[in-house]
Structure 1
Amino acid sequence: MRLPGRHLPAQRSCRGDRRRAGGLHPRRPARRRGALCVALLARRPGPLGGDAAGCGRPRRAVPAHRLRPRGARVARPLRPGDGEVRRLLVVKLSSLGDVVHAIPSAAALAARYPAAEVDWVVEPLAAPLVRALPFVSRTVVFDGGTAFREGGGAFLEAVAGLRESLAGRRYELAVDLQGLLRSSLVTVLSGAALRIGRGRWPWLHRSVAMYDHRRAPHAVENTARPLASLGIDPLGVYGAGLAAVEPLARDLRARGEALAASLSLPRPFVALLPGASRPSKRLSFAAAALPAPAVVLGGPDARGLGPPGAVDLAGELPLLDAVALALVSDRALGADTGPSHTAALLGASITGVHGPTRVGRTGLRGPRARSVGAPCGGCERRRCPRAGACLAEALREAVRSGGPGPSWPREAGTTTARAR
């Protein structure tokens, strides 16, 4: 096998070139140089280093396997047929927003293998959403973070329980959509015959989709990169995700209408989702001039962030009930947080307000969703050095800009607030 891009002629260098090609020490004899030294020679201008003409008599070519590090694997795409996969495991842990970004990828896997039972390993916060997905057969909840904080014994017990719940399923395929060490280890515990990962931990996967640090246009497509080794186009998973969640969206709209009537909410109303785990992403609507009565939704971190006179239901409703009310609202405004991404994917008319995060990477994705970014957006800081002034400006722009429309994936759908 020849080297890609350059062929090394089988030649012996002269004494001076041989000394320079000896690698790390000039006194080391040339006959001891190995694959590393030959690879260094390939970077020199001549055919074997030294001048362009080269010198010496012919010698046998260097085998290609000598140039590959010992123990390294060559990734090759393995594509099992539709009938070969009866049970499929999806691993996506982390936050609720990350799980929402992985739903299109899981839907594309279910469409690729229609006869397979799709199981999903997820953390407790996103378990209600994954359990409600129509194409997921079984939800496996793994709270590894809490067990790790409690101590080594609790963590080992949680890992043993996870292994026991996965061992009897006999998966043919396990797909790691997270790209972290803990998610890769979950695929190992599954015992699947074929494991697909993102390439950061290649020794834990049978087939590795090559990973680089270049970002796709959005986290949805970036999460879908491992599926390319199975013949699935990462750029086409978003449409599969919208079609797969449509039954769930219809059910939640009906639930939202009934819930709004039972709570005697004013109609129409504006749904607010201001909470977030990071303080630099939270929105404050205390001084916002909204066109209709407001209803504050989300977790406990959203309490007290609504305008005066708003109906504050933050921390009072389960996740799917809060999303159901956002679906039946006249308009919704939300931070870059999990409930906002869930409502956007299910079809809510929602505008996302982004401060430290990049709109192009984690903006809301949905048929009626749009995102507004701050002038200094993308700093990724957990605490804003301007005391949230940039996020407040983006919020004012979102309120002024009117109701959201089907702006994604057009770049014009993302708005940046005007700098003052």
Structure 2
Amino acid sequence: MKVLIVKTSSMGDVIHTFPAVEDARRNRPDVSFDWCVEEAFAGIVALHPAIGEIHTVAIRRWRKQLLDGDTWREAAGLRRAFRNCRYDLVIDAQGLLKSVLVAKQAAAPIAGFDGSSAREPSASLFYDRRYAVPRDLHAIERTRRLFGLALGYEPDFSTLESGIVPPPGSMAGISGKTAFLLHGTSREDKKWPVGDWIETARLLMKRGITPVTTWSNDREKAVAEAIVQAVPQAVLVPKSPLAEIAAIIGRAVLVVGADTGLTHLASAFGLPTVAIFLATEPGLTGPRGPFSSTLLAVPGGRVTPAEVMAEAERLLALKSQAPA
């Protein structure tokens, strides 16, 4: 059986789908999987060994260039690629009108959430198979349930495995124990103050752990440079391809991150991960992993570097006691 997964974005949503793929790989070894994803996240999908062909879309770019001939040629090429693959089933794990539009291009039966379960209920009107999954569950569990219903098995919720490992690679000049500080995030109200990142870097150095950070735009660059200027032993990784950053993160002993996709990636790698949530509720979409934890700022309050380090110490001790 050949199945196409449609989960185009965001990075965190893509990573939340991996445990469902891992369930399916164990329960349905007769099924092979391809995936359709936004081009920026193709390298993330490639981390899972069960994924065969990766089809890419560029929906945001296409929307801005609807009259451009290249847009229509790319869309037509995607449709041809889908149909050449002759899928037996498409699982729309996103539940949006934009994802079902992509799924329809494969000309195969589509499975997805029913009208009471989908993020955009009208998307379910276009599915051939609809499944009820409670909306008050974490995104990972919702997707695991959807895959189980679509492929005919019961997921084992006593375990949680992503099936991914860090890609090979490292950065010259980084040695010893490192902690990756993921300060960049999409919204200003999600950002931890730069002074708190600096204090955390200092506390890490006192523990013998070298802080590592990076950036992807000018605002993030200013924060990263401020951390390194205040703590000269910290390492600044230049703006780099996602696969290279993933490799460096994967070799850290600890990750401290804001509400951002790379924090979810660290958690999926099984790394001790402290996630700092300031403006969003982590209950249904926060990082999940055997050694991950979320610190949530109470209204009118804050998360302090001391609190972050105390939680980091707890997770590091937990990791050290876990079977190899």
**TM-score bucket of the superposed structures, by smaller chain:** 0.7 to 0.9
Q: How far did 1:370 drift?
A: 1.4
The answer to whether the 8 A contact 2:253-2:271 is kept is: no
TM-align CA RMSD: 2.6
Change (3 A) 1:235 1:335: farther
Structure 1 match to 2:254: 331
Report the secondary structure of 1:360's partner residue: coil
- Residue aligned with 2:90, SS: strand
**Structure 1 position 97 matched with structure 2 position 15:** no
2:154 to 228, 233, 250: 233
Which of 173, 176, 184 is matched with 1:267 structurally?
176
1:313 aligns with 2:223: no
Confirm whether residue 124 of structure 1 aligns to residue 124 of structure 2: no
Give, in whole Å, the separation in 2 of the partners of 1:265 and 1:189.
46
- Which residue of 382, 405, 412 maps to 2:315? 405
Aligned residue type for 1:195 = I
Q: TM-score, normalised by structure 2?
A: 0.81
From 142, 148, 165, give the equivalent of 2:81: 165
Which of these residues, 208, 213, 217, is aligned with residue 296 of structure 1? 213
Post-superposition Cα deviations, 1:237-268, rounded to whole Å, max 9, x if no partner, equal 963x33x22xx34xx3xx35xx24xx212522
The answer (yes or no) to whether the contact 1:129–1:320 under 8 Å persists in 2 is: yes
The question of 1:198 aligning with 2:113 is answered yes
* Residues 183 and 257 in structure 2, CA contact (< 8 A), matched pair in contact too: yes
Which stretch of the first structure deviates more once superposed, 118-127 or 142-151? 142-151
2:142 to 213, 217, 222: 222
Distance, in Å, in 1 between the alignment partners of 2:174 and 2:252 is: 10
Cα offset for 1:396? 4.4
Among 363, 371, 375, the residue aligned to 2:298: 375
Q: 1:121 is paired with a residue of what secondary structure?
A: strand
Q: Deviations over 1:369-413 (max 9, x none)?
A: 21111113xxxxxxxxx7xxx45x3554213434252999xxxxx
Cα contact 2:24–2:148 (8 A) shared by 1? no
The equivalent of 2:129 in structure 1 is 207
Percent identity (aligned): 25
Q: 1:124, CA displacement in angstroms?
A: 1.4
Structure 1 residue 99 displacement after superposition: 0.4
Q: 1:407 to 1:287 in 2, by over 3 A?
A: closer
Q: Kindly indicate whether structure 1 or structure 2 has the higher relative contact order, using CA contacts under 8 Å at least 6 residues apart.
A: 2
SS in 2 for 1:302: helix
Q: Hey, what's the Cα distance between the residues in 2 that align with 1:280 and 1:238? A: 33
Contact in 2 for aligned 1:351/1:371 (Cα 8 Å): yes
Higher CA-based Rg: 1
| Alignment match, 2:24 | 109
Counterpart of 1:116, as a letter, is V
Cα distance in 1 for partners of 2:159, 2:101 equals: 27
**Cα–Cα, structure 1 residues 401 and 224, in superposed 2: closer, same or farther, change >3 Å?**
closer
The structure with the greater share of residues assigned to strand is: 2
- Judge conservation of contact 1:195–1:207 (CA < 8 Å) in 2: yes
Q: How many residues align?
A: 294
Query: Structure 2 vs 1, CA of residues 158 and 371 (structure 1 numbering), >3 Å: closer, same or farther?
Result: same
